[in-house]
Amino acid sequence: MCGILAVLGIAENPQGKRTRVVELSRRLRHRGPDWSGLYCHQNCYLAHERLAIIDPTSGDQPLFNEDKTIAVTVNGEIYNHKELRERLKSHVFRTGSDCEVIAHLYEEYGEDFVDLLDGMFSFVLLDTRDNSFIAARDAIGITPLYMGWGLDGSTWFASEMKALSDDCERFTPFLPGHIYSSKKGGLRRWYNPPWYTEDIIPSGPYDPLVLRKAFEKAVVKRLMTDVPFGVLLSGGLDSSLVASVASRYLENSQAAQWGTQLHSFCIGLEGSPDLKAAREVADYLHTRHHEFHFSVQEGIDALEEVIYHLETYDVTTIRASTPMFLMSRKIRSLGVKMVLSGEGSDEIFGGYLYFHKAPNKVEFHQETCRKIKALHLYDCLRANKATCAWGVEARVPFLDKEFINVAMGIDPQWKMIKPGRIEKWILRNAFDDEQAPYLPKHILYRQKEQFSDGVGYSWIDGLKEYANQQVTDAMLTNANFVYPENTPTTKEGYYYRTIFERFFPKNAARSTVPGGPSVACSTAKAVEWDAAWSKNLDPSGRAALGVHIASYDDNDDDAKTQSGEVPGITKNSS
């Protein structure tokens, strides 16, 4: 992962702007500590802070076409770059970088090439022949991108808000799956899968082997790297499946550049649920496991840094990001620059606790669509910025375009949580292989534990206690006067907001964070499905523990469910 900054259409003294652009780009250097690049053409600048994952020796950016009339600065990975090069045989490539294809694709196809890219990316491309430019962001928003406007009429793009917040009067997150064109004006959506229109309910069959193979393909393509890598392993279903598939591939690969033993990483408080579960999965998969510990105080001490890097005051995101932030520093100290992570599964398959209450498949599907579309504001933001704070790149196979198309094309009736089926049953069942097990049964059917809970229950309790010491009752009572927009409703939320405002005081900055209190299991839809959810004012998964109990107490086939033997359903054993 890298950091990009583009300043386009500077009105006055563009050459004098160079020092400022270098200074602002430096704010992104944590994302790309390996090299810095800067390109200037007339009144436009493209800057790049590189984290070298592919072709470390010759892939410095910005990148160009043959005659350097087209320049591009990219943050991301293009997994199908070798296939795309085959389509561009008439073009001359100067580097082995996966991102160089973007310049040549534009030269070949014009602006309508973005859908050909398979990967995670944000980029800005400058066509010096007419001084036009385009910017685009990947389908789901795995990589961050912000867009801003200066008083002189200039247009700005940056991987993080901190690089443009001081110099732009207005700025906003760049929408995932969109492209901006200076020629055509405004944003337009380039990503238009069938599921994006929420009213079209899919009716495709559920084939466990098709789903399994699509996920395996998504994991394997993300092992494209020229540097050491590993996998984040919490011991839950999603990260365990990622680790299992990656480990199998490495064992059977003849070109395992960094060895055939997968490195896995986990963090938690002493005795936390995640540490125990991850250790068990690591032992089963024979990974080279690295277990890190942190204390509540160490997490609290890191909060200001975490909020500065995350650029949000969302409570759930900060809780979960702090352990990931601390772990990423440890991972980088081991020389690892890329990790696989399990984000996205809960959104695609309805894995959150309130999905137990979905009344029908139509509403279930529509809520999964809304969840996927909001990922760039929550889990994608966390996974990207918490790791990039220390120059580590996180890749997320569950958010592979092809895999999402397969998973979201299945009739949502199969995803519904019913008596006899645990949440995300269709994913678990797809990997329930009797002949060559991917995971032990009790891991494969382990129930969901939120990351912020799994690292140790006292982590959240410690945060609340600390916030209660920092924020008085009177401060919270008057919160609506101090913060009339997105008013915090808890002392913890108030405390995070004060830190955020110190770093990012502009109205535009606070507007980049989703509105309202962040309560993961008490969304409007959850309350609509079951009014009892409105009583839960805390985002912690513990608050909804009763859902698990209620869901299975009435089910006589509980033991069969946990082993994957669901009445009336033929278990996949291929």
Which CATH number covers residue 121? 3.60.20.10
d(CA 231, CA 243): 6
Q: What is the pLDDT of residues 236-283, one digit of tens each?
A: 999 999 999 999 999 877 545 667 789 999 999 999 989 999 999 999
**Residue 344 belongs to domain with CATH number:** 3.40.50.620
- Report CA torsion sign: 196, 378, 145, 101: negative
Tokens representing residue 123 in the block = 């980029």
Residue 325 has pLDDT above 50, yes or no: yes
Do the beta carbons of residue 454 and residue 268 sit within 8 Å? yes
Please tell me the total count of domains within the chain. Answer: 2
d(CA 378, CA 317): 6
pLDDT of amino acid 571:
37
Query: Pick from 137, 158, 192: which residue ends a domain?
Result: 192
Residue 344 lies in a domain: yes
pLDDT of amino acid 185:
87
pLDDT of amino acid 68:
96
Q: Is 2 considered catalytic here?
A: yes
Q: What is the pLDDT of residues 83-104, one digit of tens each?
A: 999 999 999 999 999 999 999 9
| Same domain membership, residue 186 and residue 205 | no
pLDDT of amino acid 58:
84
Owner of token pair 């499905």: 529
| Same domain membership, residue 176 and residue 249 | no
Residue 297 lies in a domain: yes
d(CA 484, CA 249): 52
Residue 146 has pLDDT above 90, yes or no: yes
Ramachandran angles phi, psi of 121, nearest 5°: -165, 150
Enumerate residues 6+ apart whose C-beta is below 8 A from 474. Answer: none
| Same domain membership, residue 316 and residue 187 | no
* Full-model pTM: 0.92
Residue 574 lies in a domain: no
Q: What are the counts of helices (DSSP H) followed by strands (DSSP E) for the chain?
A: 24, 17
Residue 198 has pLDDT above 60, yes or no: yes
Residue 173 lies in a domain: yes
Enumerate residues 6+ apart whose C-beta is below 8 A from 45. Answer: 5, 6, 7, 8, 10, 14, 17, 18, 21, 38, 39
pLDDT, average across residues 313-321: 96
d(CA 78, CA 21): 27
| Same domain membership, residue 244 and residue 153 | no
pLDDT of amino acid 31:
98
Q: What is the pLDDT of residues 22-70, one digit of tens each?
A: 999 999 999 999 999 999 999 999 999 999 999 888 889 999 999 999 9
pLDDT of amino acid 450:
56
Do the beta carbons of residue 210 and residue 572 sit within 8 Å? no
Residue 568 lies in a domain: no
Query: Pick from 152, 169, 192: which residue ends a domain?
Result: 192
| Same domain membership, residue 205 and residue 187 | no
d(CA 125, CA 139): 18
Residue 479 lies in a domain: yes
Q: What is the pLDDT of residues 512-562, one digit of tens each?
A: 998 754 444 446 787 789 877 666 656 555 444 454 445 444 433 443 333
| Same domain membership, residue 207 and residue 154 | no
**Who wins on pLDDT, 54 or 478?**
478
554 to each of 71, 363, 558, how far by Cα in Å? 62, 23, 9
User: Quick count: other Cβ atoms within 10 Å of Cβ 322?
Assistant: 28
| Same domain membership, residue 180 and residue 205 | no
pLDDT, average across residues 209-235: 96
Q: Looking only at Cα atoms, what is the longest distance across the chain? A: 76
Residue 571 lies in a domain: no
Least confident span in 352-366, 454-468, 482-496: 454-468
Query: Pick from 192, 215, 242: which residue ends a domain?
Result: 192
pLDDT of amino acid 558:
40
Strand duo 338-340 + 70-78: pairing: unpaired
Domain that holds residue 46: 3-192
Nearest of 5, 120, 33 to residue 404 by alpha carbon: 120
| Same domain membership, residue 212 and residue 183 | no
Q: What angle do CA 322, 304, 307 make, to 5 degrees?
A: 65
| Same domain membership, residue 134 and residue 211 | no
Nearest of 353, 366, 396 to residue 546 by alpha carbon: 353
| Same domain membership, residue 506 and residue 414 | yes
Least confident span in 53-57, 285-289, 410-414: 53-57
Least confident span in 56-60, 133-137, 477-481, 540-544: 540-544
| Same domain membership, residue 185 and residue 151 | yes
pLDDT of amino acid 256:
58
d(CA 375, CA 63): 29
Do the beta carbons of residue 467 and residue 300 sit within 8 Å? no
Q: What is the pLDDT of residues 346-364, one digit of tens each?
A: 999 999 989 999 999 999 9
d(CA 551, CA 549): 5
Q: What is the pLDDT of residues 447-458, one digit of tens each?
A: 766 555 667 679
Residue 272 lies in a domain: yes
| Same domain membership, residue 461 and residue 331 | yes
318 to each of 234, 405, 509, how far by Cα in Å? 18, 30, 17
Tokens representing residue 272 in the block = 């936390």
- Report CA torsion sign: 214, 215, 219, 222: positive
Do the beta carbons of residue 24 and residue 164 sit within 8 Å? yes
Q: Assign 287 to helix, strand or coil.
A: coil
Least confident span in 49-53, 325-329, 485-489, 519-523: 519-523
The DSSP bridge partners found for residue 170 are 149
Tokens representing residue 7 in the block = 């300043």
Nearest of 398, 408, 382, 393 to residue 518 by alpha carbon: 382
